[in-house]
Structure 1
């Protein structure tokens, strides 16, 4: 994808949302937390200051985060860092690249080639030991390095050429009082697994529904502590996987590279890690557990995404049913919820869905499981009911009489406990 185009779409969407005010051209210079609010001071280009008051502030302000520095939280640095020249190119004529994404592990110059949306492509060139960054970060250097790939000024436009230093770092705490961190402000990782922006999106997917519950008074502020617990553990795995891939790729010693190549080609042990599965399960935080605290499978897993048929047509589950909490019931299972439990689910905005066979007739609370993705999932875990969080992680699953009611009671108890863990 072409990131500037994506950002334009996101900005356009934000402007059109009711209750959202977009303010640009200002730099945050101060954050002051008071009893029940946070006061943020920002300055425009002329130095004119403006204050903004909010109950909660989320710093998504990038790798050089002012918010993170203001919070003065410790940062873990794995010490794996290299500088690369990034070249974004717009091709004058459509070209075919097979495969679309390529990592060239040439010790003479490790190079990355990736697709970047229609008509766009990105090349990244590693700075070699002893090579000056100033000499690398020049337009003529970019064209010289692009030329062997058939990219010349008469065939393409160089949209951007800049050096950047990728790092492997993670903040120890992503919440301090009423201020939180997300995205690059909370973590940085090498680009090799392609999980940087993806991780930031997962951050806000985890945080948004929790903030919503807290703001609406449906959960205590301590629920937000699970944000750091859950996401930092997942991000740590992504960072480690990215670093492991980088250690395979960023080899400039010819002898070491030859040994690496022979090992990989021979398929021997130690050939280098594969790209990690991005659907990492939760290992901490808000999950259905036993009395002793141990997790109950499949709590924490990412629920599969399949096709269903409902009253509004056929499509992906999330598009047909909607976002938010979901209580999924096996065919024939009875929710058997009392008034208090039903009211709790209603307050959460929960979708209660009963699964039918593929040829079943959808009704108000039932959908036909096209392809059997969800019925297979329930059968694999011997579950009659599955409660799914708004970020698509399974809160918990249960079987037998009163399974759904037990899950609902457990979620309510954990939401209202002094600290979910």
Structure 2
């Protein structure tokens, strides 16, 4: 390693939405981070447009949810049409169990700019543009990256951990020699965006027409997008010529020549997943780890799940709160779900882009026949077909009680709660960027020895919530212990009451990414929480992955961030 190599705890290669979201999370957790990107500016291409409730919860953790929402259209329906233009299904989920709507539309270039502005809040997070990775070498102590700027000058950065967020053609993945298994779909698609939306259609429409399957959707600020399948023999670049674009749009608008096309690009759909998401001290995230066709709008959302899962683990390892060996849990927890999302997108694509007229007719008859079945209609309307993440191994504690273990590894709900009358808050905002022990109408730590509280504090769980049911007027809420551990909050909308009542548990331990790490009854809290801490905490005399000074004082910064989150 060069003696002049810059040292940093985390180096992120790629400043797309996944890489910059991860950097915002690491900044929130107090970890000094460097993000490098070879492109000098945000790419002004028509790319991702859909963000789900899990993505917004991730942005909430970075403190940027409201800013991102300013450039979004929330709660947008999706409709599917037969070859004869009959709507056979509509997706409009009403649930907000994670605190946000499930279908929201945005323009990725605008979203990326907001995320990059968010980095300016953190003195120890830097974004450097115009730098390309040309070499990567890792050993037991860290990773050395060689970067080249636009003038050809090279520099080295030494990092404890490197995260590749450099897209489907990931240079890092190729340098590591990791397989990218799957397939490239034969049909290409041309994507066209216009401003001054000419249609009164405030929804996303999937048109399953064998003559030419296409997608049409409304975007913020009067933008309208069309996506058309290209057929064999149609040259992608030729289809972007103005006369061809007008020809494609001619069947859908009265005067295509009057449209102002601001973006147009040809895309190839891919269904691929890396063999491993973790290789030594290097992790893959976003398209570098997995890439999916856009049929269910989960490509970027899957990458944001990567960022939320990985961000806190890197921070906790660097701060000596988590065993370094548990970095591999990132692969264990994310790989299978990423593959499941790809499989679902492939299924949707095969059904909805059918070009055989006879098969398309049979498909349409089937969907039109079942749309009146209440159970099926609810299954589609509420997006229950979407596989939710569930971790059976990783940074979770399975007690051996089947009913309770079925709760572990799932994302916890996010209802509104109150710390004071008239002060409704989302649960995550009360919890802050940490582990949270949430007890329902009890004090799970009433009999906890000091040693367990010390372990929980080391884990970053030094603040506890005791929840009681909603009171009326000046009436006190449901009974609570005389001196409960931590803050008492009221269940403003009965969301927590219904959850705990149906699960037969008294407490949950929620991770920083809002997944359930452990659950139980009051009587087993000491045993279960102690077992979890023993399994994930480093040895008491272990040294963090990098010295605190080198990591930018991360532990002190985390304490400051937590204090700000809890300030009332």
TM-score by length of 1: 0.91
1:7 aligns with 2:112: yes
Contact 1:15 1:22 in 2 (8 A): no
Show the counterpart of 1:411: 532
Q: Is residue 168–residue 291 contact of structure 2 (8 Å, CA) maintained in 1?
A: yes
**Residue 267 of structure 1 pairs with residue 377 of structure 2:** no
Matched, 1:241 2:350: no
Q: Given the superposition, is the C-alpha separation of residues 284 and 109 from structure 1 closer, same or farther in structure 2, using an over 3 Å criterion?
A: farther
1:395 Cα deviation after fit: 1.2
- 401, 410, 415: which one aligns with 1:301: 410
Structure 2 residue aligned with 1:356, among 468, 474, 481?
468
| Separation in 1, partners of 2:285, 2:492 | 36
**Displacement of 1:19:** 0.5
Equivalent of 1:329, from 439, 447, 468?
A: 439
Partner SS, residue 55 of structure 1: strand
Q: Give the 3 Å change call, closer, same or farther, for CA 151–22 of structure 1 in structure 2.
A: farther
- Tell me by how many angstroms 1:266 deviates: 2.1
1:148 aligns to what SS in structure 2?
Answer: coil
Q: Do structure 1's residue 68 and structure 2's residue 173 form an aligned pair?
A: yes
Q: Distance in 1 between matches of 2:392 and 2:184?
A: 25
Say if 1:97 and 1:24 are closer, same or farther in 2 by CA, change over 3 A: same
SS at match of 2:304: helix
Identify the range of structure 1 (341-350 vs 354-363) with the bigger mean alpha-carbon deviation. 354-363
- Greater shift, 181-190 or 125-134, is seen at 125-134
The equivalent residue for 2:200 is 96
RMSD: 2.7
Pairwise mapping of residues 25-36 of structure 1 onto structure 2 (< 5 A)?
25-36=130-141
Q: CA deviation at 1:256?
A: 1.9
Which of residues 194, 206, 210 in structure 2 aligns to 1:107?
210
1:210 CA displacement: 0.8
Report the secondary structure of 2:490's partner residue.
strand
CA contact (8 A) 2:180 2:275 kept: yes
- The match for 1:367 is 489
Tell me by how many angstroms 1:49 deviates: 1.4
Pairs within 5 Å for 1:389-404: 389-401=511-523, 403-404=524-525
Report which structure shows greater RCO (CA 8 Å, sep ≥6).
Answer: 2
Contact 1:297 1:396 in 2 (8 A): no
1:341 is aligned to 2:462? no
- Describe how 1:21-420 pairs up with structure 2 within 5 A: 21-78=126-183, 80=185, 82-91=187-196, 96-98=200-202, 100-150=203-253, 155-267=258-370, 274=380, 276-277=385-386, 279-290=388-399, 296-311=405-420, 313-336=423-446, 337-350=448-461, 351-359=463-471, 360=476, 365-401=487-523, 403-416=524-537
**C-alpha separation between the residues in 2 aligned to 1:237 and 1:15?**
36
Moved more, 137-146 or 82-91: 137-146
Q: How far 1:95 sits from its partner (Å)? A: 5.3
How much does 1:302 deviate? 1.5
Greater shift after overlay, 159-168 or 282-291? 282-291
* Aligned-pair CA distance for 1:223: 0.6
Measure, in 2, the Cα distance between the counterparts of 1:94 and 1:368.
48
SS in structure 2 opposite 1:356?
A: strand
Poorly superposed stretches of 4+, deviation over 6 Å: 292-295
Helix, strand or coil for the counterpart of 1:15? helix
Q: Secondary structure at the match of 1:96?
A: coil
Runs of 5+ in structure 2 lacking a partner?
1-105, 540-568
* Change beyond 3 A, Cα 1:229–1:334: closer
1:63 aligned counterpart, secondary structure: coil
How many Å separate the matches in 2 of 1:85 and 1:7? 22
Superposed displacement of residue 196, structure 1 = 0.5
